Amino acid sequence: MSDRYEAQEIEARWQKQWEVAAIDAASDDPADSRETYYCLVMFPYPSGNLHMGHVRNYCLGDAVARYKRMRGFNVLHPIGWDAFGLPAENAAIKHHRPPAEWTYGNIDQMRAQLKRLGLSYDWSREIATCRPEYYRWEQWLFTRLMEKGLAYQQNAEVNWCDPCHTVLANEQVVDGVCWRCDTPVVRKNLKQWFIRITAYAEELLSDLDKLTGWPEKVVGMQRNWIGRSTGAEVSFGLENSDATLDIFTTRPDTLMGVTYMAVAAGHPLAQQAATSNPALAAFLDECSRISTKEADVETMEKKGMALGVNAIHPITGALVPVWVANFVLMGYGTGAVMSVPAHDERDHAFAKKYGLPIRQVIAPHAGDWDIDAAAFTEVGKLIDSGAFDGLPSDEAKVAITNWLAENEKGAERVQYRLRDWLVSRQRYWGAPIPVIHCHDCGAVAVPDEQLPVVLPTDLQPTGGASPLTECDAFRHTSCPRCGKPAERELDTFDTFMESSWYMNRYTSPRNGEAMVDADAMKRWAPVDQYIGGVEHAVLHLLYARFYHKLMRDAGLFDGEVVGSEPFRNLLTQGMVLKDGTKMSKSKGNTVDPKAIIEEFGADTARLFTLFAAPPEKELEWNDAGVEGASRFLKRVWRLLEKLDAASDTADGDVKALRFSIHATIRKVTHAFEQGFAFNVAIAALMELTNSLHSFNPACEAGKAAYREGVEALATMLAPFVPHFACELGERLGMAKMAVVTDWPAVDESALEQNEIMLVVQIQGKKRGEITVPKDAGQDVAMAAARADAAIARWLDGMQVVKVILVPGRLLNIVVKPA
């Protein structure tokens, strides 16, 4: 056994031992009485190479999982592969290898990299979403949703990404460009599959209140995304027509102030008017072009044009002109709005620009308002509103909405920003949508006994249309209902479908009977701690919450027991930066985890990523910092030298050392229980190391305390640097491997002090320190303060006005000249 710290050798040895001892497996044994804990990290896309963001994510998760095991929990800590997706197809085109081969090869590589890091996963539960045993259940659920009308096919204007050759969900369009390839999306009208997430909008919104273990920021982002607003739907008549112009407003109290209407360029009314008006047609064309150019939106001027059509006010019967305006969006509400320039800033600006009338119908509760200068957008009191005059806004909203309802010209209405989830993709490397199109029966769900619809894995993508479109063996089938020749659906699922339920599948990953096992769900779900990047705050986390509810409603588990939310606590980790910016290949500022592990070992890499920043903040990569982490481990290692060394010098302060040991245990434990401030926990362990280094064990009590300290240190290091901790523990002669040793308990008696230090302040300024008996009262403390020369001089010639004693902390003396 070498006396030097040889990371590579040590890490290989302990990884083998852990595997043999099977310490990372989650137990499904009903006789296991341990409390369960489910710690989950976001599974990776198998790109082939682990990057620092993964390393950070998985080191955080591993620290939590290992700590919980040491605390006696039966821990589920699984990993797998989000294995469908576009990069596999692109690689296939480039290297002329089938996507499956590329994907499975990458998985093997990345699995080896994860294992090299010493992460404590239950590898027996590993899943890959591209395997039919996995995606068949997603297909199964989809057919259930079709039965319930929650999955449907519809022609819709959708976001199309040319390079990706597919449609995108609204959530996948970020700032007008594709979330994956950054190219602007185009609007296209296509027949697509949707899942009715809007049917769950209310529950998705209200359940956000249950997520007390989530960062408020993420909850807020989801709340905004769902975008609930309450108001009224109002039906305006149209002059010389039986048709109506329906709008949604959150301010029905301002209805009497409507002076014109505005519709989106895509609104049927505008389209129709344009057929006989070339200038208008040109304007609509301009609007449709602008809307695709996202960069222009910010600077976009508010423009409009009259349609030459009049709407009829539902209450007054007055005629108001209908305009088309470039700021009205076809995709929200009804694509038309009522315009009240007096009480809406945008309408005000528009009215000023085009000389439209401004009619004030709300007055401030107090004071005057120059309605010509600016819109009054607050609530107030109704004026010039006929029967509604004098009502305050909130009452007027109800009164006007009721009037509309009674006269069948409107109703109260709740509007969401959330749109249904577009789940079909015109891609090859994805889960086939389990539908057969029959000439006579239409779109028919594939029956359970024919599931899974297996994706042929031997096709070669070319970059154009999906190769499935040319695969006759896949394409041609018979209708499950009438038996006549029929065609399979050739689109595949959005890959967010797979990642939306994997957390539940891990509870029974090999289950061939059902999507999940209800008992396993009861045992493990929901996830106690989920850890991953904040970039998934809306996309993945919203879909996963939705899916969990769908699974509950499909009767797959008991919602009363498991709950309606999949993740109890969420930790969103910050990005890993280099030179102040995100690491990326194109910037050439990446740091390869492999290189760090080869040079310093996995433990150093783990330690640095946990120590350099608090988990939720960005982590600036710093090579010197990595060396510092490595230096710390060597410094701990050298503590072994003093273990049995005979010393002829005097013993150190045993009591002070034991105080330091147990204060550290308390601090580190607290870090694990409260918010995972591992950077602070590790700093505390460094302090303990410094204390141990400056301690000189001579007598029996001193040696015992020293050993106690080093053992506690080895134990507490185990969640962070498990190989190192095990090796250290073994050399200390500890009974069990450090990673399975019980977490150390605080010895309260070691923290008791007979004498304590008090900071003494005069007028709130620190002037000295005194040592007093631990339960010293104000009089004793004052006497000690007066006895201290440095403090006494501040009291000289002064009259004590007030004394504040904070027990165990400080003594503040307020004085004034005598």
Return binding residues: 585
CA distance 377 to 327: 18
Known binding residues for ATP: 585
- The least CB distance from residue 620 to RNA, in Å, is 5
H or E stretch at 373: none
CB of 334 to RNA, least distance (A): 7
Least gap, CB of 26 to RNA (angstroms): 31
129 binds RNA (CB under 7 A): no
Query: Is 724 an interacting residue with respect to RNA (CB under 7 A)?
Result: no
Minimum CB–partner distance for residue 809 and RNA (Å) = 4
Please identify, among the stretches 60-68, 227-235, 462-470, 598-606, the one whose residues bind RNA according to the rule CB under 7 A. 227-235
Task: Tell me whether residue 207 or residue 616 sits nearer to RNA (CB atom).
Answer: 616
Residue 356 in the binding site for RNA (CB under 7 A): no
Pairing between β-strand 80-81 and β-strand 127-128 as defined by DSSP bridges: parallel
55, 338, 400, 714: residue in contact with RNA (rule CB under 7 A) = 338
Q: Is 208 in the site for RNA (CB under 7 A)?
A: no
174, 199, 383, 441: which one binds RNA (CB under 7 A):
174
- Strand spans (E) along 313-432: 319-325, 336-339, 362-363, 381-382, 410-415, 421-422, 424-425
Residues 610-649 that bind RNA (CB under 7 A): 612-614, 617-618, 620, 622, 624-625, 627-628, 631-632, 634-635, 638
The Cα-based distances of 720 to 75, 111, 566, 682 in angstroms read 17, 20, 27, 9
> Is residue 224 near RNA by the rule CB under 7 A?
yes
- The answer to whether the CB of 287 falls within 8 A of the CB of 305 is no
CB of 214 to RNA, least distance (A): 11
**Rounded distance between C-alpha atoms, residue 555 and residue 543, angstroms:** 18
Asked if 362 interacts with RNA (CB under 7 A), we say no
Per DSSP, the residues of 410-460 read EEEEEE-S---EE-EES-SSSPBP-EEEETTTEEEEPPGGG---PPPS---
* Residue number, 356 or 682, with CB nearest to RNA: 682
Identity of the residue, 365 or 809, whose beta carbon is nearer to RNA in the bound complex: 809
Quote the Cα angle for 142-147-152, to 5°. 65
CA distance 474 to 138: 19
- Select the span of 73-81, 89-97, 548-556, 807-815 touching RNA (CB under 7 A): 807-815
Closest CA to 745 of 643, 636, 664: 664
Task: Tell me how far apart the alpha carbons of residues 61 and 610 are, in angstroms, rounded to a whole number.
Answer: 11
| Binding of RNA by 495 (CB under 7 A) | no
* 800 is a contact residue toward RNA (CB under 7 A): no
Contact region with RNA (CB under 7 A), list: 1-9, 89-97, 687-695, 697-705: 687-695
Examine residue 526 and say whether the peptide bond preceding it is cis (omega within 30 degrees of 0).
yes
Among 11, 344, 517, 528, binds RNA (CB under 7 A): 344
Answer for which of 687, 708, 747, 788 binds RNA (CB under 7 A) is 687
Q: How many CB atoms lie within 10 A of CB 785?
A: 25
DSSP per-residue codes, 713-732: HHHHHTTTSHHHHHHHHHHH
- Span 274-303, contacts to RNA by CB under 7 A: 297, 300, 302
State which residue, 199 or 329, has the beta carbon closest to RNA.
329
Please select the residue that binds RNA; options are 686, 701, 751, 780, rule is CB under 7 A: 686
Three-class SS state of 775: coil
Give the number of other Cβ atoms within 10 Å of residue 162's Cβ. 13
**Cβ closer to RNA: 231 or 729?**
231
Write out the binding residues for RNA, residues 543-572 only, by CB under 7 A. none
Site string for RNA, 63-102 (x = CB under 7 A): ----------------------------------------
Q: How many CB atoms lie within 10 A of CB 694?
A: 9
The dihedrals phi and psi of 808, each to the nearest 5 degrees, come to 75, 0
DSSP string, 167-179: EE-GGGEETTEET
Longest Cα separation, the chain: 110
Binding to RNA by residue 387, rule CB under 7 A? no
| CA 341 and chain centroid, separation | 40
In the list 442, 555, 764, 777, the residue contacting RNA (rule: CB under 7 A) is 764
Under rule CB under 7 A, residue 372 binds RNA: no
Residue 766 in contact with RNA, rule: CB under 7 A: yes
Does position 346 interact with RNA (CB under 7 A)? The reply is yes
Out of 37, 134, 160, 248, which residue is the one contacting RNA (CB under 7 A)? 248
